[in-house]
Amino acid sequence: MATHIQDANQTDAVLRTEGLNVYYGKFLALRDIWLNIPKNKVTAFIGPSGCGKSTLLRCYNRLNDLIESFRAEGKVFYYDENLYAPNVDPVEVRRRIGMVFQRPNPFPKSIYENVAFGPRLNGYKGNMDELVERSLKQAALWDEAKDKLRQSGLSLSGGQQQRLCIARAIATQPDVILMDEPCSALDPISTLRVEDLLHELKEQYTILIVTHNMQQASRVSDMTAFFNVQTSEKGDRSGYLVEYDRTERIFQDPQQEATKEYVSGKFG
Amino acid sequence: MTNAFPDQPSTGLVRGSLNRSATSPRTVFSRVMTILAFVCGILALLPLLAVLSYVILQGFSSLSLSLFTELPPPPLVPGGGFANAIVGTLIMVGLGAVISIPVGVLAAIYLTEFSSGSLSRGIRFATNVLSGVPSIIAGVFAYGIVVATTHTYSAVAGGASLSILMLPIIVRTTDESLQLVSQDLRQASVGLGATNFQTVSQVVLPAAIPAIVTGTTLAIARASGETAPLLFTALFSQNWTNTLFAPTASLAVLVYNFATSPFKNQQSLAWAASLILVLLVLLTSVIARWATSRKAY
């Protein structure tokens, strides 16, 4: 493990990977990841396509379990519990660590039901109307949606749908929110609204965001991890962590040549 | 030919007029093929129209209210109806549905949601084979399993044989409709901490319900017209049946019995029963269409 990554890893971590290797079948997709995610900060994962940043994101809520050939070696800690220990229930993990996907994917239900879906799964006993309102307000969607809570979530625009998905993730009151390129399907104005939202949300939540957009990473994140792909002699491409540091250092004073080239737009 | 665009320099290519000539080989060929395709389309429709109009012509004259209230008459007795056959058909199709719908839908859920690889391929192949099994084989099977063990022809045996015919249709349509449900929705649900059961019951099934309803109604329509498997499982009865374990009348078998009888009254009852049967099938098909055209949300 390189020293600069060690420095950045000194903080109190909510999520921590120790020597994580990810395989799809025999193919090594991610190699030897050591990464500490600090609490109540936005951490961005950047890197060229195929470098495994989405794969790593999905390791944190065990969503990769849905892929049959997936196999993880090493450890992923959530506080001091190893998420891949045999006695860990992935359903419980996902209730603590929420997720927002690349394409907005509201359920074909009403706006209200979309937000209430997660809390209902958890057997939420409190005032559901209040929780829905609070979640929609936190996702900055309340003003636009308050008069049509009974309408289908699919009747909203793309940007609104994505904020609905954020509200839906918030409603389960998670600790951590994982975002997998949440703005890649949105127009610039909707993107800015979601980015503003991230600044407010990080007061309460730890946020991880995968993005292809470097300006976005520099705008929204406190920490940035840069991943790259290495092609082996046999032609297998596996991703690895190149550099992890405070965002301004990654963008202004990167320590690695590959990072410098990537953030200055020379490749990727 | 004159140059249609005099401003353009001649390129050496002969350019035809932009106007279509009614006698050019291309136009004539196109006309002939269009007419041919149209005639074939009509020919394909002809059997349905012929059967429908013949059944309506023959059956309509013997339609009366007593058909729905009275029992089949003995030979040479005028009047009568086939109330017991209508009820018998409904009971047996209902039994078939009660057996095959839960099994079929759950099997399809297993196929799409929880299995993979060679096992699901095997089950899908077996379902396809089952849908190709002649209906009389399903009847023989139900005879061997139910009739031979209960020592009586019965509605239960008839329902069991129909359920064998309905099962593959339900599995296939449900399987296909579940596969159409977007993977994004499943991930959204799982990502919120839903268990497999919650994901299937609250997200996947509701999205697929219209297609599942269509598949089931088609299966019901198919089963209600089946005769062969009922011939030696439910047999027939001239009377009301009070128990599920006694020979039971059905419309299809009534048509089979009476259409070949030498007595005029029974023959006209057979036509009326055919008409009712066709209308029943038509009605379920219309319901199926209506269910698909409606989106779940």
Query: What's the full length of chain B, in residues?
Result: 297
Residue B186 within any structural domain of the chain: yes
Together in a domain, B106 and B235: yes
Inter-chain residue contact B192 with A63, CB threshold 8 Å: no
Inter-chain residue contact A66 with B193, CB threshold 8 Å: no
Residue B16 within any structural domain of the chain: no
Q: What radius of gyration, in Å, describes the C-alpha atoms of chain A?
A: 19
Q: Is A71 exposed, middle or buried (0-12, 13-18, 19+ CB in 10 A)?
A: middle
For residue A243, the Cα-to-chain-centroid distance in whole angstroms is: 18
For residue B37, the Cα-to-chain-centroid distance in whole angstroms is: 27
How many angstroms separate the CA atoms of A100 and B227, rounded? 55
How many angstroms separate the CA atoms of A159 and B263, rounded? 74
In contact, A196 and A16? CB cutoff 8 Å:
no
Residue A9 within any structural domain of the chain: yes
Chain A contact set for B115 (CB, 8 A): none
The whole domain housing B31 covers 21-49
Residue A12 within any structural domain of the chain: yes
Residue B2 reports pLDDT greater than 70: no
Residue B6 within any structural domain of the chain: no
Residue A1 reports pLDDT greater than 60: no
CA angle A209–A214–A219, rounded 5-degree value: 70
Residue A114 within any structural domain of the chain: no
Together in a domain, B200 and B229: yes
Together in a domain, B45 and B80: no
Together in a domain, B91 and B31: no
Residue B1 within any structural domain of the chain: no
- Whichever domain contains B100, its CATH number is 1.10.3720.10
Inter-chain residue contact A105 with B207, CB threshold 8 Å: no
How many angstroms separate the CA atoms of B138 and B147, rounded? 13
Closest CA of chain B from A236, distance in Å? 25
Chain A contact set for B199 (CB, 8 A): none
User: Per residue in B221-278, pLDDT tens?
Assistant: 889 889 999 998 998 888 888 888 889 999 999 999 999 989 888 899 999 999 999 9
Residue B90 within any structural domain of the chain: yes
pTM of the model: 0.81
Longest dimension (CA), chain A: 59
Tell me, yes or no, if B297 comes closer than 8 A to chain A by beta carbon.
yes
Together in a domain, B35 and B147: no
Domain count across chain A = 1
Residue A132 within any structural domain of the chain: no
Domain count across chain B = 2
Together in a domain, B148 and B41: no
**H helix or E strand, kind and range, residue A19:** strand A13-24
CA angle B165–B166–B170, rounded 5-degree value: 140
For residue A253, the Cα-to-chain-centroid distance in whole angstroms is: 25
User: Per residue in A20-75, pLDDT tens?
Assistant: 999 998 889 999 999 999 999 999 999 998 889 999 999 999 999 888 889 999 99
Inter-chain residue contact B207 with A108, CB threshold 8 Å: yes
Find the mean pLDDT for residues B88-99.
Answer: 95
In contact, A121 and A81? CB cutoff 8 Å:
no
What's the sign of the alpha-carbon dihedral A225, A231, A232, A236? positive
Together in a domain, B141 and B230: yes
Which pLDDT belongs to residue B289? 81
User: Per residue in A137-163, pLDDT tens?
Assistant: 988 899 999 999 999 999 999 889 999
User: Please, what is the average pLDDT of chain A?
Assistant: 90
Together in a domain, B177 and B38: no
Chain B contact set for A154 (CB, 8 A): 297
- Pick from A68, A121, A168: which is nearest to B198 by CB? A121
- Whichever domain contains A79, its CATH number is 3.40.50.300
The whole domain housing A42 covers 3-107+175-263
pLDDT band at B297 (very low <50, low <70, confident <90, very high): very low
Residue B73 within any structural domain of the chain: yes
Tell me, yes or no, if B197 comes closer than 8 A to chain A by beta carbon.
no
Which pLDDT belongs to residue B238? 87
Q: Tell which of B183, B185, B192 to mutate to test the A interface (max A CBs under 10 Å).
A: B192
Which pLDDT belongs to residue B1? 46
Residue B12 within any structural domain of the chain: no
What's the sign of the alpha-carbon dihedral B19, B21, B25, B28? positive
Tell me, yes or no, if B201 comes closer than 8 A to chain A by beta carbon.
no
Neighbour-count burial for B169-201, b at 16+ CB within 10 Å, e otherwise: bbbbbbbebbeebeeebbbbbbbbbbeeebbbe
CA angle B36–B37–B43, rounded 5-degree value: 90
Residue B78 reports pLDDT greater than 90: no
